[in-house]
Chain A
Amino acid sequence: MKLPNIRYASPASIEDACDLLSADEDSKIIAGGQSLLPVMAMRLAQPSVVVDLGNVPGLTDLEEAGDYIRFGPMVTHAAIVSSPAVAKHLPMMVAAGRHIAHPQIRNRGTLGGALAHGDAAGEWPLVLLALNGMVEVQSVRGRRTIDADDLFVGPYMTTIAADEIITDVWIPSHSDGWGYGEFARRAGDYGLANVAVVMSTEGSQISNARVAVGAAVGKIQRVPEAEDVLNGSELSPERAEVASEAGAKSLSYISDIHGSAEYRQGLVQELIRRTIVEAGART
């Protein structure tokens, strides 16, 4: 499974990288390569030019920026999972990041790469959506910001244009309740169902609930039917059950050799319930 015949460029700046993408519509960014290279090895993608961001300076920042944590796109999964700032302000990312594949993949894979890849079974897209983060992208046409709610539109499909490059990822610091869970048979497997939940409580009344699902469904998405059951109501195990049942019913599921739609629905329902309980316990 040798890689197809590509040309390689390693620009020194984001601007140069944007120019390269704009000049050839079949060119593609390579960040960590952990998603792109397998796809190329299987010849499911055959870009004409691979544009490596590895020599562009300043893309590996990880800093507290006001109410946010700002990440450069080339920050690796390993760096995120071991960052004290992330542990303090975005503990969900540490929990989620440990599910990503294996340490060897995490040493190379990047946040920007994972978000741009938009894999419905991906951990960072799910986390970004749950935590209401956003990305900034740049192209020859300028810069713009995309909120997580507007980013993921289908399997491996985002609203980032082919010639746009993620330059920054902003995630609001989170000190409220959160929960993250995956059902996977072996360490590092793509999840059969992934769920992320955040919520606040005043007393035991829930607000700001965001319930996000991945892996079992075709695209990373929030589950408004579950959120509506939670917001404004009292936190309780029964409420978690009602929310998870309503939420699970509202989704449409993928079906493949690892699990039928019916099986995945059962998993999602149980996982939403558990993750709501987990999030509630942390408020």
Chain B
Amino acid sequence: MTSSSPSNRVEIDVEVNGRRRTVAVDARDTLADHLRNDQKLTGIKLGCEHGVCGACTILMDGAAVRSCLTLAAQGDGRSIRTVEDLSDGAALSPLQEAFKRHHALQCGFCTAGFLISATELLESNPSPTRDEVIEALSGNLCRCTGYQTIVEAVLDAAGQIGN
């Protein structure tokens, strides 16, 4: 929606995890804050609020983006998917299963961001090489795992390696 005069509140039309809504947001809200606080999607985490750690990563029109570096208002007209949308509600997705199998999470705080970044990768490149996995995921920080098991989980989910 366009609005030629500046305002503190903005009405946006946004689809989140398949559900379309019209909502009002504050001009100063980031998309991360809106999704977490207004839409109660707390799977998105805030690790730095300056776009480096990747814990807030979501899919916007299929592309992985930092929700802390997006204004809520910029979600207007977009289709957003968060980590909550990755399983079918009854079972873990193959990617999530692979993370569990490979111990690709410990504290879990960075995990949503990695799952989303990996989802974008696998949707555009179903058979990535190890280097391609690393290039796609190096923008996500983890402090617990040392990363090796995350790489292996993604390659496993892509059918590139065994368990």
Contacts and interface: CB of A to CB of B under 8 A. Distances in A.
A103 B135 contact: yes
Contact of A33 (B28, B69, B139): B69
Interface residues of A, number: 41
Given A6-B28, A187-B135, A1 B50 contact: yes
Interface of B: 1-8, 10, 27-30, 33, 49-51, 54, 57, 60, 63-66, 68-71, 73-74, 76, 117, 120, 134-136, 138-139
Contact of B27 (A8, A11, A34, A186): A8
B50 A30 contact: no
A38 B136 contact: no
A107 interface: yes
B68 to A, nearest CB: 7
Ranked 5 nearest A-B pairs via Cβ: A102-B139, A8-B27, A7-B6, A107-B63, A12-B2
B138 A188 contact: yes
Query: For the complex, would chain B's binding face be called helix, strand, loop or mixed by DSSP majority?
Result: mixed
B51 A8 contact: no
Given A38-B51, A103-B135, A187-B135, A20 B6 contact: yes
A33 B51 CA distance: 10
B27 A37 contact: no
Interface stretch (A50-58, A168-176, A274-282): A50-58
Given A9-B5, A102-B139, A104-B66, 11 more contacts: A5-B8, A10-B1, A20-B6, A37-B51, A38-B50, A101-B139, A102-B138, A103-B139, A104-B64, A105-B69, A186-B138
